Amino acid sequence: LLVFLGLALPEAQGRIISRCEMVKILRRNGFEGFEGTTVADWMCLVKYESNYNTKAYNNNGPSRDYGIFQINSKYWCNDGKTAGSKNACHISCSKLQDDNIGDDIQCAKKIAREAHGLTPW
């Protein structure tokens, strides 16, 4: 049983992106100065929303948050469970929980662009 749990845990946890790597990713993707924010703002967001975990998940009752940026299923992605989901990023929420965070970045920037900052978080 312990061997099974040990093998299952990495799958459930997802990829944990190091702080240094996350800074590089954010800089490379134009987050510095984006909609009046800094890379430090985004690092704080990612730390406290997902602890740098690509598979992070939070159940809020009627909606859920997914991925490294904790993108909400009521407005931004479709999880097939949230009634009246707007899916403004035109993406399945499950895509926000894989190790490729390119689509997470696009959606996070769309959210920040529409809100002119980080207020949705």
Cβ atoms 107, 65 nearer than 8 A: no
Q: Residue 18, CB half-sphere, CA atoms under 13 Å: how many?
A: 3
Q: Burial, 50: exposed, middle or buried (Cβ in 10 Å; 0-12, 13-18, 19+)?
A: buried
Alpha-carbon dihedral angle through residues 26, 29, 33, 38, given to the nearest 10 degrees: -10
Residues designated catalytic: 49, 65
